[in-house]
Amino acid sequence: MATTTPSRALADCMELLREGEPLQACLERYPEYRKRLRPLLEIAQTLQGQQPQVTPSPHFLTELKSKLSREEQEGR
């Protein structure tokens, strides 16, 4: 049976947190790494909450669609 590495457990938990899984549930999946994962995941949650929401402007979207359409017509 293959064992999960700490880095794999961290990556899995970070993905689960992004999907809405509670921190405690993530830690329960990897009890052998609980002490190592908790502070890292708490920091990740804090940083994730501080990321600004980026919304492209309508002008950008219009220009992008136009460019993609031109490239498609040119066969790129």
pLDDT digits (tens, 9 = 90+) for 40-56: 999 988 887 776 777 88
Domain regions of the chain by residue span: 1-52
pLDDT band at 2 (very low <50, low <70, confident <90, very high): low
For tokens 């600004």, what's the residue? 52
Q: What's the pTM value of the predicted model, to 2 decimals?
A: 0.60
User: Taking the alpha carbons of 39, 40, 41, 46 in that order, is the dihedral positive or negative?
Assistant: positive
24, 52 contact by CB (below 8 A): no
Name the amino acid, one letter, at 38. R
On the question of pLDDT at 1 being above 70, the answer is no
Predicted confidence at residue 9, as pLDDT, reads 94
Residue 4, pLDDT above cutoff 90: no
